[in-house]
A and B are shown apart, each in its own frame.
Chain A
């Protein structure tokens, strides 16, 4: 068996505000032979990745501080609920960046609650689509996350990372047909895990840990004022407002 040196190992950036969870994910990743860097916030993660907080990529500004340590990572694994920038916010920032969008992102969360999706304007019908609910995990997957792990993260979850890392290592377009089956295989376990998670959550009761509403916070605040139920509510509530339609 050859010794794997630092340069040939995959580098994973783990983001979590909880000390315990950082220790745990670091152990699991190292156990799976990944090089690990841990940070306690989304903004620190972006800093390390070379994205300034205003959303500008470092390549657009010639003068970046020489003290700024920037790293190259092959995968980002982040907690969903964090103060300030949530894991979902971080996901959107990474996927919205030309330099970082190809880095696979995995989200970890202690809950897979139904996420309130703000009403969106449907241009075809010129009307706002009603507020609807999808699970947090589904929403993350739909918005670019490769996987959604329910905490506590297990060793078995680490095995799912490999395929996402290997996918990226194949740059040639003609490799696409080979990649497809891998992607399908991976999709299944994620969906399966979500079903398991949903069952688990119902069994022990849902806990709402942080807000799942969209990026537009003012919109979310306005909706709260209209009397729509907060995400903390576990049973469906009929809103007083005539605007709310829960499907």
Chain B
């Protein structure tokens, strides 16, 4: 008997949580959605995150392609991405931003 789409989705989300891609904040919002009048809240939030995140990624890539990388601009972009990923519960993205930010900060200290 095939699992219903909702069960499949729930189990997919559980897997993502267990593997560290999603954090407790996402799970809280996911659970919250059940009692909400707007069942599309998470879908809307995630869609916005993917759209905005995509744009930030492209901007990060452009910054990194320059011969002289603007470390301040890079830091600002990372802060921005860290903010949205944290609000949506995208744990791995958030941690990656923190890690890269630390590296960029070290580079900045070295240059000064």
Contacts and interface: CB of A to CB of B under 8 A. Distances in A.
B84 A20 contact: yes
Interface stretch (A140-148, A151-159, A162-170): A151-159
Interface in B28-64: 28-29, 32, 35-36, 38, 41, 44-45, 48-49, 52
A20 B49 contact: yes
A21 B87 contact: yes
Given A31-B36, A155-B28, A209 B79 contact: yes
Contact of A205 (B41, B89, B98): B98
A152 B89 contact: yes
Contacts of A238: none
Grouping DSSP codes into helix (H, G, I), strand (E, B) and loop, the A interface class, with mixed when no group exceeds half, is loop
B45 A205 contact: no
A155 B87 CA distance: 13
A67 interface: no
Given A21-B87, A27-B36, A204 B98 contact: yes
A132 interface: no
Contacts of A110: 79, 82-83, 86
B87 A24 contact: yes
Given A19-B48, A20-B45, A20-B49, A205 B87 contact: no
B86 A232 contact: no
Given A23-B48, A27-B41, A151-B86, A207 B79 contact: yes
Interface in A24-48: 24, 27, 31
A122 B83 CA distance: 38
B38 A205 contact: no
Contacts of A234: 102, 105
B98 A21 contact: no
Contacts of A205: 98, 101-102
Contacts of A19: 48, 52
B48 A151 contact: no
A10 to B, nearest CB: 19
B95 interface: yes
Contacts of B83: 18, 20-21, 110, 151, 209
Interface of B: 25, 28-29, 32, 35-36, 38, 41, 44-45, 48-49, 52, 75, 78-79, 82-84, 86-89, 95, 98, 101-102, 105, 108-109
